[in-house]
């Protein structure tokens, strides 16, 4: 059992958790120095690549630390609530310890995470439209049974297990000045901050939350854990909608500052990591890089380590992120061109676009619009470009040929 006092996780708890971790269940993940990101923020950036963990996230660390101890006490059934990553961690840990597990996931959980959780040996139930509803149902399943509920963050053994990652991060880069850690329920940053501050209190620990799931600032202000009724963010891995008394007190003691980032910033970070670091990282994992690039955090001249804590990116979400990013970069352009509705106009416009070296993705012919005169129509082109300058050149060419062009990219 944990040697915590009044729920506070100690560094000794983290050391013991590290002794329990098996290499076949939890591996030491690499660190990669990113000169591309470093040049953007004028810092020495080292990415801790925990998204390359066996389950695609850090969650196995805490789950295995708890479940190994509980199975030694005779517990053979575990229940948890999760949007995905904690689910996989509990499923794998329980299976490795010879126990049964049931995971309750929100009805809108990504299919990839549902499938992976089942593949690790758990039974999965889909209940609730948000995490709080899912959590309530999962906790009800434990009542009147010998099963153990595995909370994602409100458990000292979970926090201690996550803290093993902080030990690795300090060993990987003891010269770092700042570490950036995503916050959902706060278990991850609580463990990491406890480990980091034990080794070097001067290292700045920065937490990052998604705007649509932010709870820490208000919790700190009111000196009590605050829970949101609803969350709205693409970073489902940190969309818990609340922290706990345990994690709030640890954040108060060991975390230096907390910043928030928008979904747009998280999406740009996902794309940047794909392009520059060649890494596929989910929203929760990319939040640290979003914070690194934000105006709210200055790391100029520092050695900084953003944590990529999860890599279970749903392909539908990736498509959504790419569409938005390409639109923002003007690499996807939607143009509405007013034409005389007669043969040859579509061919002529297509030729003008082709002359500029752009590819037409699709085109729609629209006649039923009140603003059009009889004999007129709109052609709406979706065009793939090389960027803003290329997009402007295409519009200039069409207008130069005598057409009225409306850029409706952002209106679509």
Per residue, the 3-state secondary structure of 44-110, as one string, reads: EEEEECHHHCCCCECHHHHHHHHHHHHHHCCCCEEEEECCCHHHHHHHHHHHHCCCEEEEEECCCCC
- Kindly give the pairing relationship between strand 100-105 and strand 123-126: parallel
SS3 326: helix
Domain that holds residue 101: 59-149
Task: List, for residues 96-123, the tens digit of each pLDDT value.
Answer: 999 999 999 989 888 888 999 999 999 9
Angle 388-400/345-355 helices, nearest 10 degrees? 140
Q: Are residues 83 and 195 in the same domain?
A: no
User: What pLDDT shows up at residue 412?
Assistant: 54
User: What pLDDT shows up at residue 5?
Assistant: 40
Task: List, for residues 155-195, the tens digit of each pLDDT value.
Answer: 999 999 999 999 999 999 999 999 999 999 999 999 999 99
User: What pLDDT shows up at residue 131?
Assistant: 75
108 to each of 87, 88, 310, 317, how far by Cα in Å? Answer: 14, 16, 18, 12
To which H or E segment does residue 331 belong?
A: none
| Phi, psi angle pair for 48, to nearest 5° | -85, 115
Question: In CATH, what number is assigned to the domain containing residue 388?
Answer: 3.30.70.260
Task: List, for residues 35-44, the tens digit of each pLDDT value.
Answer: 999 999 999 9
Domain-located, residue 264: yes
User: What pLDDT shows up at residue 2?
Assistant: 39
Q: Are residues 27 and 103 in the same domain?
A: no
| Average pLDDT estimate for 250-257 | 97
User: What pLDDT shows up at residue 7?
Assistant: 64
Q: Are residues 315 and 352 in the same domain?
A: no
| Average pLDDT estimate for 55-74 | 97
Q: Count the alpha carbons within 13 Å of 143 in the hemisphere toward its beta carbon.
A: 5
| Average pLDDT estimate for 19-38 | 96
Query: What gap in Å lies between CA 357 and CA 302, rounded to an integer?
Result: 43
Residue matched to tokens 């010998």: 146
Residue matched to tokens 């080292």: 46
- Does residue 113 or residue 280 have the better pLDDT? 280
Q: Are residues 276 and 407 in the same domain?
A: no
Q: In angstroms, how far is CA 174 from the centroid of its own chain?
A: 26
Domain-located, residue 133: yes
Q: Are residues 143 and 164 in the same domain?
A: no
Q: Is the alpha carbon torsion for 382, 383, 387, 390 positive or negative?
A: negative
| Average pLDDT estimate for 73-90 | 94
Question: In CATH, what number is assigned to the domain containing residue 184?
Answer: 3.40.50.1100
Question: Confidence band (pLDDT; 50, 70, 90) for 219?
Answer: very high
Question: Confidence band (pLDDT; 50, 70, 90) for 6?
Answer: very low
User: What pLDDT shows up at residue 110?
Assistant: 80
């Amino acid at each position: 059992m944990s040697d915590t006092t009044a729920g506070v996780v100690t560094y000794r708890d983290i050391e013991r958790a590290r002794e329990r971790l098996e290499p076949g269940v939890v591996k030491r993940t690499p660190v990669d120095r990113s000169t591309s990101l470093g040049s953007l923020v004028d810092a020495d950036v080292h990415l801790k690549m925990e998204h390359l963990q066996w389950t695609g996230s850090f969650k196995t660390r805490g789950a295995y630390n708890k479940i190994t101890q509980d199975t030694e006490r005779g517990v053979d059934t575990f229940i948890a609530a999760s949007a995905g990553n904690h689910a996989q961690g509990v499923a794998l840990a329980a299976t490795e310890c010879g126990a049964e597990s049931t995971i309750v996931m929100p009805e809108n959980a990504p299919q990839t995470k549902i499938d992976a959780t089942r593949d690790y040996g758990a039974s999965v139930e889909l209940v609730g439209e948000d995490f709080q509803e899912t959590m309530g149902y999962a906790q009800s399943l434990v009542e009147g049974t010998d099963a153990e509920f595995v909370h994602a963050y409100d458990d000292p053994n979970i926090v201690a297990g996550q803290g093993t990652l902080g030990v690795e991060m300090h060993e990987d880069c003891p010269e770092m000045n700042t570490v950036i850690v995503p916050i959902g329920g706060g278990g991850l940053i609580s463990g990491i901050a406890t480990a980091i501050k034990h080794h070097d209190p001067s290292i700045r620990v920065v937490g990052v939350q998604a705007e649509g799931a932010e709870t820490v600032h208000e919790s700190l202000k009111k000196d009590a854990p605050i829970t949101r009724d609803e969350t709205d963010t693409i970073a489902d891995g940190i969309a818990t909608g609340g922290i706990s008394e345990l994690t709030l007190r640890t954040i108060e003691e060991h975390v230096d500052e907390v910043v928030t980032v928008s979904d747009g910033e998280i999406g740009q970070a996902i794309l940047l990591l794909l392009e520059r670091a060649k890494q596929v990282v989910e929203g929760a994992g990319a939040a640290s890089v979003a914070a690194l690039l934000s105006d709210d955090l200055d790391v100029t001249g520092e050695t900084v380590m953003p944590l990529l804590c999860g890599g279970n990116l749903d392909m539908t979400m990736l498509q959504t992120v790419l569409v938005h990013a390409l639109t923002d970069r003007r690499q996807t352009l939607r143009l509405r061109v007013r034409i005389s509705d007669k043969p040859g106009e579509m061919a002529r416009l297509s030729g003008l676009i082709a002359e500029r070296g752009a590819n037409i993705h699709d085109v729609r012919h629209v006649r039923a619009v009140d603003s059009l005169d009889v004999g007129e129509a709109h052609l709406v082109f979706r065009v793939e470009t090389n960027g803003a300058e290329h997009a402007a050149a295409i519009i200039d060419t069409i207008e130069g040929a005598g057409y009225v062009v409306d850029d409706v990219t952002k209106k679509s």
